Structure 1
Amino acid sequence: MELNQYLSMFIDESKEHLQAMNENLLKLEASPEDIGIVQVIFRSAHTLKGMSATMGYEDLALLTHEMENVLDLVRNYKLQMNPYIFDSVFRSVDALETMVHDIIAGGTGKADVTDIVISLKAIVSGEYEQGASGGSGTASAATSSGQGASPDRLDEFQYSVLLQSLEAGMNVFRIEVSLQTTCILKAARAYMVFDTLEQNGEVVKSIPPVEDIEKERFDRSFSLFVVSHSEGAALETALNKISEIESVKLQKLDSASLHQLASAPAGSQGASGSSGGKATVSAIGQISAASAVLEKPQGAAAAPAQQQNGTAPVANRTIRVDIERLDVLMNLFSELLIDRVRLEQLASEIRRNELTETVEHMARVSSDLQNIVLKLRMVPVDTVFNRFPRMIRDLAKSLDKKVDLVITGADTELDRTVIEEIGDPLVHLLRNAVDHGIETIADRIAAGKPETGTVQLRAFHSGNHVFIEIQEDGKGIDRDKVLKSAISKGVLSAEQAKGLPDEQVFQLLFASGFSTADKISDVSGRGVGLDVVKTKIESLGGHVQITSQLGVGTTFSVQLPLTLSIISAMLIKMGDEKYAIPLTSILETSIVQRSQIRLMHGSKVIEFRNHIIPLVSLSKLFDIPSYSEEKESETEIVVIRKGDKMAALMVDDLIGQQEIVLKSLGKYLTNLFAVSGATILGDGQVALILDTNALIK
């Protein structure tokens, strides 16, 4: 027990030091002369080395020692940082993360770090200057290949799973998928292949491993070992329906062929065998390789396989709770809240001190309980965002571009189920922004822009939604080229294209197969993988919009539901009907005289704090016969906001603030304009909850 306690401390502190090293290395790359940053990185490496040596993790201690030697020369002004040294240190941190996650998964933390140690030693001795380019290229090539000595070999665990599946009457296939040469975002297509196979069975092993596929470290083809109840012809047909797939080769395996593939000595593949095996099931099963790697860096994918053997240690003082149990807890508490509101109303009518005091105490206790229940499910988006700076740095370097990633609102909280699934779409959108949005250095200078492009990633709450926006100052989207490309690909006809507003033109980028172009142009590639993004975001109950200005830049705005069942809202009255407006979207309430209302382009507006904002009539919007503000000399308004945009809603009366339970309207009432759900009030009445974001354009 004591060992587990120390191990838990080691894991927690190691993760903190590795994250700190990653962040500070990015800062140092921006300011290579800042020795203060080097000192911070050195201290993190030194502490990690000491902890690793104490716990007996020799490979970890060895690698951090060699890193420490390089950093020591830099901090003592005996060595200057350059791109080769940065790449070597970044590779070292990646290897350290892999080893730490192997320890979390119950492994020994051992890894072959010979190449990295040699490069670090060469930096210390100065020999790297003679052969840096060659050595780096070799190491890179080895990494990119994603292949070990025997990539097709099955480890003991994989062989056992496949053999047991055969004995249970299931089919086992080895499937080789080849992508078209014009495919740009290969990881997006690979994800669709994995998703299709997971719907028809289970992927047990991928070649190359799932981490390499997510990072596009493969040529045009990859292989999979799949268990399925379906026949081979059905799987082949399903896979061939995916766009940009050139060929699918399927081989049905029996026990004899499995035995041949498992003829390597048991355990010879070690951690790498695991990361290419059951890891695929856990990573793709959640969303895709991308989101799994974002939250659990390379090597972490081995965790599920290890844990099934019961050898995984306790990583920290937490317990795993099925998300469905939290859903049940939330629903039960929602019912309790409805009863609490009803009791408060009855107590105010009966007016007995004992009853009033008891209800007030119950209200205080249930409020505390409510906060805890809500916080159980809420996770800051920082858990996804914190991996993007490194990804953007590597992507910009590979494209020979200069890009600054500016993150704001990383502390914005989102429901855990959404957090787990949003990583992959954001990876695609960020890659799209850097690859196809931001121009090359030469093009930016020619356009009179700074040579460094800026990608802004921001998150913020608005109503009972969270918005995540990715904005870049690149070349923008040429609507004419989009329409021309869409017409040539049969996405829409020339007649349909006439008079189409910009918003709908840009939505064409999400059409499946839109960017399957024979020749890469300014437009082709702009939509690659975006059909995957749209499908995933819509499956979460959200939607994505594009705004763009040619030569200025493009913004992708992702709207996601909080998926909370309890929100704070302002109850309003409109004649005989009651509505609820989420408090998070309300800026202010006020009263306006009819003389203050003006007409602009046929629409009502008012002046609010030196801004002219639109005035929305809810009675006309929802066709409420029992109330009309036209008869009133003055009207109460609720000023709402969405980001930096505002509008005012005309209401009959303000009832007051209340905690309400968000209830779905079911399958029959879908896509209602400006309505996100309903709630049951204390008196048993049903009130619709307004989606204020739909009222602000």
Structure 2
Amino acid sequence: MDTNQYLDMFVEESKEHIQAINDHLLELENAPESIDIVNEIFRSAHTLKGMAATMGFEDMTTLTHEMENVLDQVRNHKLVVNSDMMDVIFRCVDLLERMLYSIAGGGDGREDVSAVVAQLHAILNGETVVQAAPKVLPEDSAAANPEAAPDVEASAASRLHAFDQFEITVLDQSVQAGHQAYWIKTSVRDDCVLKAARAYMVYDNLESLGEVIKTTPSVQDLEEERFEKSFEIVLITRESQEKIESTVLNVSEIEGVEVELIDIHLYKADHLREAKPQAQAKPAAGTKQAGAKPADADKSAPKKAAAGKTIRVDIERLDVLMNLFSELVIDRGRLEQLAHELNKSALTETVEHMSRISGDLQSIILTMRMVPVEQVFNRFPRMVRDLAKELNKKINLEIIGAETELDRTVIDEIGDPLVHLLRNSLDHGVEPADRRRMAGKPEEGLVQLKAYHSGNHVFIEVKDDGAGINREKVLAKALDKGVVTEQQAQSLTNKQIDELLFASGLSTADKISDISGRGVGLDVVKTKIESLGGSVSVDSNPGVGTTFLIQLPLTLSIISAMLVQVEDEKYAVPLSSIIETAVFSPDQIMHAHRQDVIDFRGRVVPLVSLKSLFSIPDNGIAKEEDISVIIVRKGDKMAGLVVDSFIGQQEIVLKSLGKYLTNVFAVSGATILGDGQVALIIDCNALIK
């Protein structure tokens, strides 16, 4: 997937997160005991890390991950904020800003983060933070002569400073997996004619024993014979030191070889001094030739962020514009009613023209705010691919309904919750291939990301065909964390146990990793979704899979609705929820399970009387025997709303009921009609649920 198309979005969102970290750090200096501020910094760093990892910016990912480690210890009361810590974290933010400006200018965003990472490690270990002193190089060093690579004797420990953080991570993981890392210095004879050819033969032979992760000088310099007498290679292998030495010495015109075992723990002990100034290229694993040529590098380099064709408008300004237009829609309705009552042709024509113009204006304003969820969904295939490789799992991501449109306010906020849910499905949900085979499942797991409209809501599903939720493990963790008591645990249903995953700080991962297990997962998802006026639920079937369902309001200020009358009250039913309006005679009404139902095109549909639902008093006016019904739906479920009469279709302005009328059942808001009356807007999804 070409991530360049998302570069502009990444740069702008990263600027916002870095600014948020800066602002909260300043607040934290004045209130170092505030865990809430630490949590805000942590979440911004966590989101920034996820975005950087998706875009492939390794140094930014590494630095934000190490920042997380320190902040995580602070919020768990294992570290105390002090001036040294603040200085180091501010330095981290400066580095992040430098990387981001590099990326925005078309660079690769690479920075030497080794020194600041070492300082973060010192903080974690409770050691004194040593500020790195500027390094003074001798005049005759290789830095003074960039054409010549270093040919210096050094211990394995001192050479570790030449590794960047990514290489240190690779070395560490390889050692944990049972491999050994060796530093190999090879010297060629003084009378050697083709030094580059000998270097290539040594490189090729060593690569047959394992994986070469670094050369000094770079592969390109070796190929172009830009070295004096010796060169160095770092090799990861399971072979013995003797085997390595004999392999190198089998190449003719080699004078000698030095092989030393690299102790990766020295990196942590010495805090990794600042890296050498010259740039060094890493050969790709399994590659026998030099690195990419400049022309190839240009093709793979990130494009410079485009500017000038679009502008970022503060969403609050769009909110003000929408509110002003909403008032215009109310006045338009009033004018249409007056024109109808006065029946003056000139007034009627003018009002009709104004209605057409305002309709076009309304369409433009709504289009400005509505964007397809594809903008968010398209970031995930690359992320799933990389995580699947890291977890050694076979996973297929299926995206459905990417064209579903959602308000920009919501689009900007749902990316992080979806990342958490997808990572949860990949790590905890889908099983490894061998376990899937044993369970009679295909080796490749399926993760489905689906979006669809239902009424005036958008639903997003994250579904996997994995092992389902391990309820015993969840309950044990909840008891251990004090989320529930022993007495409460005995009476919990399976659904309630599943919902415990949304408890603050609850994680079922056995160890902390980049993928999950930090305790910032599902509680953050729930908090974020609820702040958007939505809800999230989970449904799991052991051995079959798990589905997370997010319900989000469209948050549109203007919607099309059907106005209906019930006694003296008027109600609005969103057109997006309506299948059909119909009139039934009393003998067509049936009863099933103590519920009035109708036969609608071969389906049994339950009836819901709005008069009974909202306890509307009888006005004493005789009514027709026939029953007016609006057939509404939520997904594949349907219901029939019984009303007295249909008034007609109208554009209405969605108004909040305010903070004093929250969570009113089956009512999503209200609208002001042209005659000044207030009509409640029916929430069909809540009715059917």
Q: Matched residues in 2 for 1:377 and 1:627: separation?
A: 43
Unaligned runs of 5+ residues in structure 1 are 1-21, 23-92, 106-157, 176-188, 225-235, 278-311
CA contact (8 A) 2:634 2:685 kept: yes
Mapped contact 1:210–1:276 kept (Cα < 8 A):
no
Q: How many equivalent pairs are there?
A: 477
Would you say 1:610 and 2:602 are equivalent positions? yes
Secondary structure at the aligned position of 2:387 is classed as helix
* 1:321 alignment partner, SS class: coil
- 1:194 matches 2:26: no
Residue number in structure 2 paired with 1:512? 504
| Paired residues of 1:592 and 1:635 also in contact (CA < 8 A) | yes
Q: Hey, what does 2:449 align to over in structure 1?
A: 457
Q: TM-score if structure 2 supplies the norm length?
A: 0.60
**2:674 is matched with which residue: 671, 678, 682?**
682
Q: Is 2:258 the partner of 1:410?
A: no
Aligned partner of residue 578 in structure 1, secondary structure: strand
Partner of 1:428: 420
Check whether the contact 1:207–1:222 (CA below 8 A) recurs between aligned residues.
Answer: no
- Structure 1 distance, partners of 2:621, 2:439, is 52
The corresponding residue for 2:350 is 358
* Cα drift, residue 571 of structure 1: 0.8
State the 1:518 CA deviation: 6.7
Query: Structure 2 counterpart of 1:222, which letter?
Result: M
Residues 593 and 506 from structure 1, CA distance in 2 versus in 1: closer, same or farther, beyond 3 angstroms?
farther
Note closer, same or farther for the CA distance 1:208–1:572 as it changes in structure 2 (3 Å cut). closer
Give CA deviations for 1:629-658 in whole Å, capped at 9, x if unaligned. Answer: 998743111111112222221111111110
Contact 1:207 1:223 in 2 (8 A): no
Alpha-carbon separation, structure 1, partners of 2:460 and 2:24: 42
Higher helix share: 1
State how far apart, in whole Å, the 1-side matches of 2:348 and 2:508 are: 68
1:551 equivalent to 2:543? Answer: yes
Q: Which residue of 1 aligns with 2:437?
A: 445
Contact 2:459 2:552 in 1 (8 A): yes
Of the three residues 463, 473, 492, the one matched with 2:465 is 473
**Which range moved further: 418-427 or 394-403?**
394-403
* Matching of residues 491-510 of structure 1 within 5 Å: 491-498=483-490, 500-510=492-502
Equivalent runs, 1:242-391 vs 2, <5 Å: 242=75, 246-248=78-80, 250-252=82-84, 315-391=307-383
Q: CA deviation at 1:600?
A: 3.0
Indicate yes or no: 2:530 matched with 1:538.
Answer: yes
1:165–1:426 distance in 2 versus 1, CA, 3 Å = closer
Superposed displacement of residue 485, structure 1: 3.9
In the alignment, which residue of structure 1 is the partner of 2:121?
Answer: none
User: Matched residues, percent identical?
Assistant: 56
- Aligned to 1:659, the other structure's residue is in SS state strand
Instruction: Give the conservation status (yes or no) of the 8 Å contact 2:580–2:631.
Output: yes
- 2:587 matches 1:595: yes
Match of 2:289? none
Change (3 A) 1:477 1:165: closer
1:490 paired to 2:335:
no
Residues 40-92 of structure 1 show CA distances to partners (whole Å, capped at 9, x for unaligned) of xxxxxxxxxxxxxxxxxxxxxxxxxxxxxxxxxxxxxxxxxxxxxxxxxxxxx
Could you say if the C-alpha distance between residues 273 and 383 of structure 1 is closer, same or farther in structure 2, counting changes exceeding 3 Å? closer
2:372 counterpart of 1:398: no
Q: Which moved more, 1:589-598 or 1:406-415?
A: 589-598
2:511–2:517 CA contact under 8 A, matched in 1:
no
Structure 1 counterpart of 2:654:
662
SS of the residue 1:371 aligns to:
helix
User: Per-residue displacement from partner, 1:350-382 (whole Å, max 9, x unpaired)?
Assistant: 111111111111111111111011101111111
* Shift in alpha-carbon separation, 1:630–1:275, aligned structure 2, 3 A: farther
Q: Does residue 399 of structure 2 align to residue 567 of structure 1?
A: no
Q: CA deviation at 1:273?
A: 11
Instruction: Give CA deviations for 1:292-347 in whole Å, capped at 9, x if unaligned.
Output: xxxxxxxxxxxxxxxxxxxx986252233222211111111100000000111111
Q: Within 5 Å, which residues of 2 pair with 1:74-85?
A: none
Q: Does 1:582 align with 2:430?
A: no
Shift of 1:398: 1.4
Which amino acid is the alignment partner of residue 194 of structure 1? Answer: F
Aligned: 1:222 with 2:70 = no
SS of the counterpart of 1:222? helix
Write the distance in 2 (CA, Å) between the matches of 1:331 and 1:637. 33
| RMSD of aligned residue pairs (Cα, Å) | 4.7
Aligned to 2:270: none
Alignment of 1:86-165 (within 5 A): none
Q: Distance in 1 between matches of 2:434 and 2:614?
A: 54
- Kindly provide the amino acid, as one letter, of the partner of residue 390 in structure 2: S
**Which deviates further from its counterpart, 373-382 or 314-323?**
314-323
For residue 428 of structure 1, give the secondary structure of its aligned residue in structure 2: helix
Change (3 A) 1:525 1:637: farther
> Compared with structure 1, are the counterparts of its residues 555 and 339 closer, same or farther at alpha carbon in structure 2 (3 Å cutoff)?
same
**Do residues 636 (structure 1) and 655 (structure 2) align?**
no
Is the 8 Å Cα contact of residues 619 and 627 (structure 1) preserved in structure 2? no
Q: Per the alignment, do residues 638 and 318 of structure 1 end up closer, same or farther by CA in structure 2, a change over 3 Å counting?
A: same
- The 1:508/1:214 distance shift into structure 2, 3 A limit, reads farther
2: CA distance, partners of 1:628 / 1:656: 24
Partner of 2:79, secondary structure, is strand
Which residue of 2 is the match for residue 38 of structure 1? none
CA distance in 1, matches of 2:481, 2:28: 38
Q: Compared with structure 1, are the counterparts of its residues 214 and 596 closer, same or farther at alpha carbon in structure 2 (3 Å cutoff)? A: farther
Letter in 2 for 1:553: G
Q: Match of 2:651, SS?
A: strand
Distance 1:487 1:673 in 2: 33
Distance 2:525 2:547 in 1: 15
The structure with the larger Rg is: 2
CA–CA distance in structure 2, aligned partners of residues 438 and 585 of structure 1 = 35
Cα separation, partners in 2 of 1:632 and 1:240, compared to 1, 3 Å: farther
* TM-score with structure 1 setting the length: 0.59
**Are 2:504 and 2:523, in contact at CA under 8 Å, matched by a contact in 1?**
yes
Kept after mapping to 1: 8 A contact 2:45/2:64: no
Question: Relative to 1, partners in 2 of residues 1:413 and 1:693: Cα closer, same or farther, differing over 3 Å?
Answer: same
Q: 3-state DSSP class of the match of 2:351?
A: helix
Letter of the 2:452 counterpart: F
- Cα deviation, 1:483-526, whole Å, max 9, x if unaligned, reads 45434432223443455444433221101122267789xxx969
SS in 2 for 1:660: strand
Distance 1:219 1:253 in 2: 15
Cα distance in 1, alignment partners of residues 24 and 422 from structure 2: 39
Secondary structure at 2:562 match in 1: strand
Partners of 2:473 and 2:508 within 8 A in 1: no
Per the alignment, do residues 393 and 248 of structure 1 end up closer, same or farther by CA in structure 2, a change over 3 Å counting?
farther
Q: In structure 2, how many angstroms separate the alpha carbons of the residues matched to 1:621 and 1:252? A: 62
Per the TM alignment, residue 547 of structure 1 is displaced from its structure 2 partner at its CA by 1.5
Q: Deviation of residue 394 (structure 1)?
A: 1.3
**Change in 2 beyond 3 A, CA 1:273/1:472:** closer
Unaligned runs of 5+ in 2: 13-17, 113-303
Letter in 1 for 2:388: A
Q: For residue 208 of structure 1, report the CA deviation from its aligned partner.
A: 11
Aligned partner of 1:620: which letter? S
Change (3 A) 1:651 1:215: farther
1:430 aligns to what SS in structure 2? helix
